[in-house]
């Protein structure tokens, strides 16, 4: 009987390899936390060697920053477009329930030692993740301004960030999806009045 030889595994290079390493580091953070994170574990999960990881990120904090930055941006999807700011804001927060709980868990539970070692906080990682780019919420607000639904002058940085700030606080306090009733309350009773819109009766 003829033997069928398996084809050798395709060697990953460049961005493909780097993404695989960062995804592996993120999964290790989710499962084990920062204190237990090792280069060997990341390398094993990614199917490569410790040297390959270490060559790119010489320290554990370097690796964590890079993995958090990738995790925060890799799943970004187009902003919802329901035709109203209210509809868009509620749809965006509902989507965040599906995509951001793991990120919140890492920030609140698994990175305490990292913050102590580096003298930083969650806001620093968030800034690294965004990197000066417009967020999906920014896109939603820009469309509302373009429709004439709201006045750009009312969108101070604090007000513009408010829906996600309140959503994030709920997640960090419970580590559970935010109920739809709470999302609706954030949008209708707090956010919309601040931008000059009347909530639905």
**pLDDT attached to residue 199:** 63
- What confidence score (pLDDT) does residue 132 get? 66
Q: What stretches of 85-190 show up as alpha helix (H) in DSSP?
A: 85-99, 101-105, 112-118, 122-130, 136-146, 157-174, 180-185
**Which segments of the chain belong to CATH 1.10.357.10?**
76-194
pLDDT of residue 168: 86
pLDDT (0 to 100) of residue 3: 44
Summarised one tens digit per residue, pLDDT across range 56-89 is 999 999 999 999 888 877 766 778 999 999 999 9
User: What pLDDT is recorded for position 200?
Assistant: 60
Task: Give the separation between CA 89 and CA 138, rounded to whole angstroms.
Answer: 11
The whole-number pLDDT of residue 78 equals 79
Low-confidence ranges of the chain (pLDDT < 70): 1-12, 75-76, 105, 131-132, 199-201
Architecture of domain 14-71: Orthogonal Bundle (1.10)
pLDDT given at position 131: 66
Q: What is the pLDDT of residue 10?
A: 57
Where exactly does CATH 1.10.10.60 map onto the chain? 14-71
Q: Which pLDDT belongs to residue 141?
A: 95
Q: Give the CA distances from residue 104 to residues 88, 122, 137, 192, in Å, rounded to whole numbers and listed in that order.
A: 22, 10, 18, 25
41-60 pLDDT tens trace: 999 999 999 999 999 999 99
- pLDDT (0 to 100) of residue 7: 36
**What is the reported pLDDT for 103?**
72
Nearest alpha-carbon partner for 109 in 21, 34, 6: 34
What CATH number belongs to 76-194? Answer: 1.10.357.10
């Amino acid at each position: 009987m003829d033997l069928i030889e398996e084809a050798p595994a395709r060697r990953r290079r460049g961005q493909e390899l780097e993404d695989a390493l960062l995804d592996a580091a993120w999964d290790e953070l989710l499962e084990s936390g920062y204190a237990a994170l090792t280069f060997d574990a990341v390398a094993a999960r990614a199917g490569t060697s410790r040297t390959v990881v270490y060559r790119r990120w010489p320290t554990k904090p370097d690796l964590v920053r890079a993995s958090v930055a990738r995790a925060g941006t890799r799943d970004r999807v187009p902003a919802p477009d329901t035709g109203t700011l209210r509809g868009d804001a509620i749809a965006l927060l509902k989507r965040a329930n599906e995509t951001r709980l793991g990120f919140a868990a890492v920030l609140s539970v698994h990175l305490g030692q990292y913050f102590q070692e580096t003298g930083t906080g969650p806001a620093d990682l968030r800034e690294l993740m965004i990197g000066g780019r417009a967020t999906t919420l920014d896109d939603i607000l820009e469309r509302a301004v373009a429709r004439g639904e709201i006045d750009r002058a009312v969108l101070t940085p604090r007000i513009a960030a408010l829906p996600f700030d309140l959503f994030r606080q709920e997640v960090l306090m419970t580590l559970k999806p935010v109920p739809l009733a709470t999302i609706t309350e954030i949008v209708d009773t707090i956010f919309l009045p601040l931008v000059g819109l009347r909530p639905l009766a």
